[in-house]
Amino acid sequence: MEKNLKFLIVASNFYPEITSNLIKQTTSHLDLLKCKYEKYTVTGSLEVPTLISILLKKKKYDAVIALGCIIRGETQHYQFISSSIVNSISSLSIKYSVPISNAILNCENMEQAKIRSSKEKDKSKEAVEAALSVLKNIQD
């Protein structure tokens, strides 16, 4: 099933080290599954759903993986951004009838972000598998 699938990867590059790990793991997993993909980066996590929306209007993808990292600061900004992204991604997934897996990490600090983006945790692989689980249920 996976061989003919086309994925869209949109990643926030606000924390380049974290994003680089997530992108590398996502593309490695998709390569292993022989899936096609296109990847794009944006500056912040809040821009991820916006670019996903624009690209879904222009092109056909079977699934989308959203990547990035948000680290809690001293204000409530973290909560607003995280909630907005989750709501936007859910809405886009329903609007376009495309599974969009959210692998934008919400972390307390950089140490936690490094652990959660590591190969051992492989949150991006989980995101790919989540999207595939939806696609498997709609196969003809």
SS3 assignment, position 7 = strand
- Of 77, 68, 50, the closest CA to residue 105 belongs to 68
Residues 19 and 50 sit within 8 Å (Cβ to Cβ): no
The structure tokens listed for 34 are 């022989």
- Single out the catalytic residue among 77, 95, 119, 136: 77
Angle at 123 between CA 75 and CA 96, to 5 degrees: 85
Q: Kindly tell me the burial class for residue 47, based on how many C-beta atoms sit within 10 Å of its own C-beta (0-12, 13-18, 19 or more).
A: middle
Q: Does 29 qualify as catalytic in the annotation?
A: no
Catalytic residue set: 77
